[in-house]
Amino acid sequence: MVTTISRVRSGSLDDPFAAHLAPPEGETAEERALRIAAAQDAEKTSRQIDEVLAQSEKLLNKKKRDVKILLLGQSESGKTSVYDFTPQYFDSERAAWRMVVLLNLIGSLRVIVDTIRTELAAPEFSLVSDIHRQCCNELAPVLREEDVLNALISPSKQLSGGEVYVRPGGEWKTILATSEVAQNTASVVVSMRDEIDTLWADAAVRELLEKKDVSLRDGGGYFMDDVMRVTAPDYVPTDSDILRARIKTMGVEEHLFEKESALGTRGVKDFWIYDVPGSRGSRAVWSVLQAIVFLTPLSFYEVLEEDNRVNRLEDSVVLWKEICANALLENCQIILFFNKMDILKAKLRSGLIIKEYVPSFAERENSYAGATGYFKEKFRAYHKRTSPKPRSFFYYETTAVDTRSTAKIIGAVHEEIFRKHLHQSILI
């Protein structure tokens, strides 16, 4: 016998939502209005969450289609200069970069003061005097601010030698731009700008630095020539200042650049640049992308900061050969940038003899053209010999702060990658 069970839907316990959707017993008009408003707020929040998730998914899908470029090079190879071809890239960060410039300035000042004090401690010293000793003592408050800023952006000293590194992302920039501690540091430096400028202008100090072969102009020392400008109370860093400013990073930085494309064209127009720290211990994070931009200054006359037994250019060559030979990167375009060529020109004008550092240079012409031609062919030969399969060799010469030439070069690089991307997608 079949038994039929009738269900009463109105107010039935068989409806699992009935009890939850029914208004509370004895609810007043005011309570009802509040309940409905709360429900509407919850629905609005839910929609916002759904929109955020949808945008995240959209960005992820877009990112898969965009061109991705890996930026490689030793620390201080000038990687930051690649970013400036995009207008407004630094505009929102100038307050933070002002503090980086001041940190660089203090670092250079410390080198000068330490050199003076070492000379004064020698049994016989002639280039500097007790007047310089007094000047160094007066500048002690400025030097102390270096540790204050370092502790602010990097609470623990990282890596060997106690060197300070900042982590990827914008947190350290926000701290430098908004922190009261950072603003106090700026005030201390500004208050002693005359003393700093006087020390740098001192002929005896300049002679001592030259005698001890202490060079500041290759890095943060550039700002010593502009003490009064960069320590002005209303100072705002220029693009060139930001490109010259130095701060070490630990980890991979990711930057999205939006490039205008012609109306009606297809394919990618935006691309990502991944900046991998140049220190030798960071190379395990390389990944396979569409292209690699490899930057190296022709600093055959210098050694690595992290290992003073290794020549800078020799290390660049080792890194270049590793990249070219890597089978996982065989489909990547590799673009070589000889960067900071203005520094090489200045070194040659000052009497630098290339074969004293690179014996294989032999009797070639000791000139800019001779140097670039020789080293270009060396890199080209390794590229051809070690690449798993044939690929084009792209080579450019750039100046560390020549934003116009960098813009043109990066534009050309992007277009070449774009064409290859479309070709592989069978779009052209």
Of 184, 201, 236, the one marking the end of a domain is: 236
Q: Widest CA span of the chain, in angstroms?
A: 120
Helix (H) / strand (E) containing 135: helix 130-138
Residue 325 annotated in ligand binding: no
Six token digits for residue 132: 């310089």
Q: Tokens 């929040």 sit at which residue?
A: 45
Q: What is the reported pLDDT for 59? A: 56
Q: How far is CA 214 from CA 109, 119, 302, 312, in A?
A: 12, 13, 12, 17
What domain range includes position 334?
67-90+251-424
User: CA of 245: how far to CAs of 5, 50, 100, 110, 120, in Å?
Assistant: 82, 41, 6, 16, 30
Q: Are residues 204 and 282 in the same domain?
A: no
Per mean pLDDT, which of 118-122, 186-190, 208-212, 254-258 is the most reliable? 186-190
Residue 5 among known ligand-binding residues? no
The CATH number for 363's domain is 3.40.50.300
C-alpha 239/C-alpha 43 separation (Å) is: 46
Residue 226 marked in a binding site: no
Q: Is 137 annotated as a binding residue?
A: no
Residues 97 and 225 placed together within one structural domain of the fold: yes
pLDDT digits (tens, 9 = 90+) for 5-56: 444 444 444 565 556 566 777 778 888 888 788 878 877 877 777 776 666 5
Q: Residue 350 corresponds to which amino acid? A: S
pTM: 0.57
Split at pLDDT 50, 70, 90, the class of 239 is confident
Q: What is the pLDDT of residues 308-360, one digit of tens each?
A: 777 788 888 888 998 899 887 888 888 888 888 888 888 889 898 988 888 88
Q: Are residues 75 and 97 in the same domain?
A: no
243 is an annotated ligand-binding site residue: yes
Is 58 inside any structural domain? no
| Residue 385 known to bind ligand | no
Which residue among 187, 212, 236 closes a domain?
236
* 334 assigned ligand-binding residue: no
Q: Taking phi first (over 0 means left), then psi (-120 to 50 degrees means alpha), and beta for anything else, what does residue 75 get?
A: beta
For residue range 60-102, list pLDDT tens digits in order: 555 555 667 777 766 565 555 555 445 455 677 888 889 999 9
What's the CA dihedral at 408, 413, 415, 418 to 10 degrees? -160
- Residue 43 forms part of a structural domain: no
How many distinct structural domains can be found in the chain? Answer: 2
H/E run at residue 153: helix 140-153
